[in-house]
Amino acid sequence: MAELKLSPTDAANLLIESRDPITEHKKKSSDPVPLTKSVTLEFANKTISSLAKVTTKDDKVGAALTSDLNILIVTGSRVPDYGRYNLRPNRTLSWQGDEEKQIKDLTKPWRLKDFHSGFVLHAARVLKFLDGHVPDFIIGHSLGAASAQILGNHLNVPTICLASPQVIKQNIIDKEKMREPSNEQWKILNIAWKQDTVTSILRPLKYRCLGHRVVFQKSNLGMDHFVKQYRDMIKKAEKHQITDADGNPRELPKKWHSTELPIKEKS
């Protein structure tokens, strides 16, 4: 697997420029799908201009693999997704044969019932879209960030998630073990905005994020859930108060990949 470095701004730009090409894609084709605008990645010294493989309406998820680098992009919610995934934490999942094993493997080392099952279903459908292919990097926003957390843990791939909802029951996670630098979950970076309801709505139900979480404490009028709002805030990260999930001061990392972990405390 290639060593790929992305910045949080890279992740935001890719999500912004790929959303329309992904959500508007109607049929399977071997032809590349152009991004709305090419994205030059800060640390990879590459320009992403198209998507090599894109989901269709029949896949019931929004995801793509980039043409120029091996990056999986998972987009946020569309209107039907709320009924399919977001609002169904205890959804009954019916799987048979190999599919049952696949979805149980997806949630290891924990049990399926420890997860928000709507998010697991979404991640399982993205995994089906990958069809055995393993990306070098995963990025996701909102519902796509929930899926990205589960897939990043399952595939042991560096992952950046924007506006991440919680996916797993809090009492299942050993927080001290999770903070060990050797733990695979350190490869998942969740970026949240304190006033973004999506990033905290499941906390009263005792769910939490997989991996590392940094929280921007800035307050504005409005919900501020869109990727463009996150990108603008990330670009000015040094001007903002940022904490971890427990309220301890943290810095937003300039780049994220599998050998530069964990996140350091703010001095």
- pLDDT tens digits for 13-45? 999 999 999 999 988 888 999 999 999 999 888
* CB-based contact 253:260 (threshold 8 Å): yes
Task: Calculate mean pLDDT across residues 179-184.
Answer: 61
Question: Which pTM value belongs to this model?
Answer: 0.91
Q: Is the pLDDT of residue 84 over 90?
A: no
Residue 237 has pLDDT above 60, yes or no: yes
- CA-closest candidate to residue 260, choices 4, 1, 70, 2: 4
Helix, strand, coil percentages, rounded to 5, for the chain: 35, 20, 45
Would you say residue 197 has pLDDT above 90? no
Q: Choose between 163 and 76: higher pLDDT.
A: 163
Q: First and final CA of the chain: distance in angstroms? A: 34
Mean pLDDT of 223-232: 88
Structure confidence at residue 267 as a pLDDT band (50, 70, 90) = very low
